[in-house]
Structure 1
Amino acid sequence: METPGTDSSVPPPHVLIFPFPIQGHMNCMLYLSEMLVYSGFHITLLLTDHNLSLLGSSSNNNNHSHPSSLPDIPRLRVLSIPDCLPADHPRNLDGWVELLDSLKTNACPLYKSLLLDLCKMDVSADGFPAVTCVIADGILPFMIDASEQVGVPAIAFRTASASSVWIYYCIPQLIQSGEVPFRDGADWDEPINSIPGMESFLRRRDLPSPCRLAKNPEDKVLQLLATCTAHSERTRGLILNTLETLESISLEQIRAHMPTTYAIGPLHEMVRAYRSQNNVCAHDKSVSLWHQDCTCMTWLDQQPRRSVIYVSYGSIAVMTQESLIEFWIALVNSGEHFLWVVRSDLLRGEEWTNIRDSLSLEVRKGTEERGCIVSWVPQVEVLAHPAVGCFLTHSGWNSTLESIVGGVPMLCWPFAVDQQINSRLVGEVWRIGLDMKDVCDRTTIEKMVRAAMNGETASEIRKNAHELAKMVNNSVVEGGSSFENFQRLIEYIKSLCKRNVQ
């Protein structure tokens, strides 16, 4: 990977990167930031004050110190703006629409003012040149428009799977065909025919949750996602954290409408591969809004190879007390060892410790003997551990990619947004796991845990997962599709920056 030239007449590219302020989006775009730094760019990563404070550093618009939870990388600085929500607002899936509305209505003018200031400075006090390009989260189209209004070219980045992006783009067709909203009494296993390229495997129940939940065509969330996705047609380009061979059908369809689309994932593996090949000291840090309990690694060290089922529902999913109890009893009854991530905000209105105390002595004893329950873990490291035999996951895209790279089969229990289609890809298209969507009873969960960990089914999906991991790992090294797409993206950003300063 080459560094841009030293022509003094052309300022070095300086890209401002603005993720939607939830952990999965921030992590993904931090990896992109690091890769762009390795390519010689200056990067400003823009977070919200709320999240920057959670990362261990108080912040205001003029603060660009690095929080302790973020890597200290040369030419990468962190700035922040307020999200303009009360401190106690739930910034999870229950409150993400309000967060988006506040960013659009209240924070966007602040962003525009900050960007104007960053464009005026030839060189700032910390040696950063003027911003010459913006890469903003694709679900922040108003930030992309604000960037262009200031005169800075902007590229969209969608952190979800290409397949979900393609479905969101096709929401108008789903509505026109009458397939969405679902009619009363609809068969959820009925095939969907309005998504080109997916007719052979897509069912009603595999559509993203906004399609499943909408009661009328004007549903706010449904229209919001359709509008955000259609907006990417009007941006300078679209970046996706995926790879050509993994989602070739969806990428082909997307490029028919958005030709300047770059598939450059999995980004976390791109970063790891670059560090390894160029002897870059690995800092192994990501954006974590929770304290990582690394004692789980010691516990894993004590378990036999492929004997542990790792359980995590991601960073923003929430669940009911009843669902958690069903999973808990099923995990214990399966007889398998399990490492279970239970975030402090996982449950709606209930402390999980209260639930633990209400369980039977048998379940509590089984947990003590075979279980390890923690609040958060270094997930990439966990998935690379030889003791892990399966990942019971919510099927978020970051988690899905991390499991694929680790060659770990999945047991999918999708919760919301793109997770339903991701779990269908895992179970039906790639055949590297089992899809357990729309099921939450202890008997079924126990049965599927056993199937994913032992026997003929486990052997098949383990073999498929191993083969897919090799294919994905090959994509991020020189000559691989993601590596080459990233080189093209670098040259494209340089061209935008040069035009912007002329």
Structure 2
Amino acid sequence: MDQTTKPPPHVLIFPLPLQGPVNSMFKLAELLCLAGIDVTVVVTEHIHGRLLRYTNIQDRFNHYPGFQLKTIPDGLPADHPRSGDKFMELFDSLKAKTKPIFKDILTSDCLTAAGSRRPVDFIIADGSLGFTCDVANEIGIPIVYVRTISPCCLWVFFCLPKLIEAGELPFKPAEDDWDVLIKNVPGTENFLRRRDLPSFCRLGDLDDEQVQFYKSEGEENSRARGLILNTFEELDGHVLSQMRTICPNLYPIGPLHELLKAKLSTQKATPLPASSSSLWQEDRTCMTWLDSKPLKSVVYVSFGSIATLTTDQLMEFWHGLVNSGIPFLWVIRPDSIAGKDWESNIAADLREATKQRGYIVGWAPQEEVLAHPAIGGFLTHNGWNSTVESIYAGVPMICWPYFLDQLVNSRFVSEVWKLGLDMKDTCDRSTIEKTVRDLMVVRKQEFTERATEMAEFARNCLKEGGSSYCNLERLVKDIHSMMSQD
């Protein structure tokens, strides 16, 4: 390198060690690599093992000389599930055991590759990992947070202290009226109900660890120099304007998965290997099955990487899907059903009906599935990645949220964006059958037209001069300027 040439910034990215955040932040890492920035992604050893087992992530990033992947322990035993009702234990362990190791990584020379890159100039970390900001402030490195959950749910988190002060929380789970409107989340007063609040709000206990953790979100996220969000102004502008009263510097750069494709399409370089950061083995036979189906005839069913169904819930969904008469592609993760003997409970006639109109896989290449012309609807848990991917693909949704932000997202899908039907708090075969038919037959034209309109907004924001395109350029510029100041 010429001695007069300033070396590129060195950004460290630390995702929350779950499928959704890991998926989003590898895409962000690649976007920064394309902008000429050196990037180190730090993942937990558990996540690293799954990436090596199921993806080609290292081959993909070998094409970027400025990229490196490093690991850090999460402090949990190898057999810990790291999900479900054990979810909060992951945060506790990261804070207690990973924080000092994270500081050691930043203050040692282990990331400089024997002097071939600068020490870390800038940190981008998941905003739920508050210890990263503590460390950044201690050693004087600027930090920007990423939140891979939805802005609409993050805004609810920001308002939790106000909800508690106003007496809207706690409310008792035994109360019958779950449809009482919530009045202290500005901008949502006319449609957000008790049943749409994040799942921990149903506990009726302000001392619960989740309530305590999330009620400090506004204070925590405002400590960083900015907040990166996987959304776009045309989708979430009304919520973003509220959020800016607490976190003024927002970078809405979504849909991330498509912004990356758009940037790659402008590069003149040799095509890169197909990208995947899946933590499960993808079964691509489903794509061949979809090829045999008519346009917009199939409902895709997936409840994401964390949700667990009971055997009873599984059977209600199975009967409802079969009885709807609509072809379906269903992802049933190997660990997604409570109990190990559920397969033996599937009646012969149900299996036969599934062979006729359904296809079941353990995991699917979801972005490709949603983009397939045979897909006409998405029965989803409404994780934020899945929701944004569906919006971009122009696929209407049936919402069956599992926990946390998904309950808020599903309400926005049905009542704000008018992109589908919210089926939360129900799980019976007749409701499932009717809702699938409503989306795929009765109201198909209505939802398809609205989804197509919103998909066009999403495409436009990624073009040169579009909102997400410009926000990414501003982020890159700010990384350079913050580096030169500190």
Superposed counterparts of 1:400-419, under 5 Å: 400-419=387-406
- Preserved contact between residue 412 and residue 436 of structure 1 (Cα < 8 Å): yes
Q: 1:265 to 1:317 in 2, by over 3 A?
A: same
Moved more, 465-474 or 182-191: 182-191
Equivalent in 69, 83, 95 of residue 104 of structure 1: 95
CA shift for structure 1 position 227: 1.8
SS in 2 for 1:149: helix
- Preserved contact between residue 10 and residue 498 of structure 1 (Cα < 8 Å): no
Corresponding residue number in structure 2 for 1:478: 464
Corresponding residue number in structure 1 for 2:149: 160
CA distance in 2, matches of 1:407, 1:69: 31
Percent identity over the alignment? 46
Deviation string, structure 1 residues 411-433 (Cα, Å, up to 9, x no partner): 11000110011111111111111
- Pairing 1:50–2:50 present: no
CA shift for structure 1 position 56: 1.9
Instruction: Give the residue type in structure 1 aligned to 2:130.
Output: P
- Preserved contact between residue 162 and residue 251 of structure 1 (Cα < 8 Å): yes
* TM-score when normalising by structure 2: 0.95
- Preserved contact between residue 60 and residue 272 of structure 2 (Cα < 8 Å): no
SS in 1 for 2:281: coil
- Pairing 1:301–2:297 present: no
CA distance in 1, matches of 2:106, 2:431: 52
- Preserved contact between residue 312 and residue 340 of structure 1 (Cα < 8 Å): yes
- Pairing 1:25–2:21 present: yes
CA shift for structure 1 position 361: 2.3
- Preserved contact between residue 57 and residue 277 of structure 2 (Cα < 8 Å): no
Corresponding residue number in structure 1 for 2:114: 125
Corresponding residue number in structure 1 for 2:236: 247
Superposed counterparts of 1:51-130, under 5 Å: 51-56=47-52, 68=58, 71-74=61-64, 75-118=66-109, 123-125=112-114, 127-130=116-119
Instruction: Give the residue type in structure 2 aligned to 1:143.
Output: T
Q: 1:70 to 1:343 in 2, by over 3 A?
A: farther
CA distance in 2, matches of 1:413, 1:191: 20
Q: How many residues align structurally?
A: 483
Corresponding residue number in structure 2 for 1:62: none
- Pairing 1:357–2:344 present: yes
- Preserved contact between residue 71 and residue 285 of structure 1 (Cα < 8 Å): no
CA distance in 1, matches of 2:372, 2:4: 47
- Preserved contact between residue 141 and residue 228 of structure 1 (Cα < 8 Å): no
CA shift for structure 1 position 126: 8.1
Equivalent in 139, 142, 149 of residue 138 of structure 2: 149
CA distance in 2, matches of 1:479, 1:47: 33
- Pairing 1:493–2:472 present: no
Moved more, 487-496 or 41-50: 487-496
- Preserved contact between residue 55 and residue 69 of structure 1 (Cα < 8 Å): no
Equivalent in 338, 361, 366 of residue 379 of structure 1: 366
CA shift for structure 1 position 71: 4.2
Corresponding residue number in structure 2 for 1:334: 324
- Pairing 1:448–2:435 present: yes
CA shift for structure 1 position 474: 0.4
* TM-score when normalising by structure 1: 0.93
Deviation string, structure 1 residues 386-416 (Cα, Å, up to 9, x no partner): 1111000000000000001100111110001
Instruction: Give the residue type in structure 1 aligned to 2:17.
Output: P
Equivalent in 33, 39, 42 of residue 35 of structure 2: 39
- Preserved contact between residue 36 and residue 43 of structure 1 (Cα < 8 Å): yes
- Preserved contact between residue 57 and residue 276 of structure 2 (Cα < 8 Å): no
- Pairing 1:319–2:309 present: yes
Corresponding residue number in structure 2 for 1:191: 181
Equivalent in 275, 292, 317 of residue 264 of structure 2: 275
Structure 2: runs of 5+ lacking an equivalent = none
Deviation string, structure 1 residues 189-232 (Cα, Å, up to 9, x no partner): 111100011112111111111222x3222221011012244211
CA distance in 2, matches of 1:186, 1:491: 52
CA distance in 1, matches of 2:268, 2:430: 49
Deviation string, structure 1 residues 65-106 (Cα, Å, up to 9, x no partner): x85586434022110011110000011132221011000001
Q: 1:186 to 1:248 in 2, by over 3 A?
A: farther
Corresponding residue number in structure 2 for 1:138: 127
Q: 1:70 to 1:24 in 2, by over 3 A?
A: farther
SS in 2 for 1:454: helix
- Preserved contact between residue 391 and residue 408 of structure 1 (Cα < 8 Å): yes
Deviation string, structure 1 residues 369-396 (Cα, Å, up to 9, x no partner): 1111101111000000011110000000
CA distance in 2, matches of 1:286, 1:126: 30
Corresponding residue number in structure 2 for 1:173: 162
Instruction: Give the residue type in structure 2 aligned to 1:152.
Output: I
SS in 2 for 1:170: helix
CA distance in 1, matches of 2:289, 2:444: 23
CA distance in 1, matches of 2:3, 2:455: 41
Instruction: Give the residue type in structure 2 aligned to 1:131.
Output: V
Corresponding residue number in structure 2 for 1:463: 449
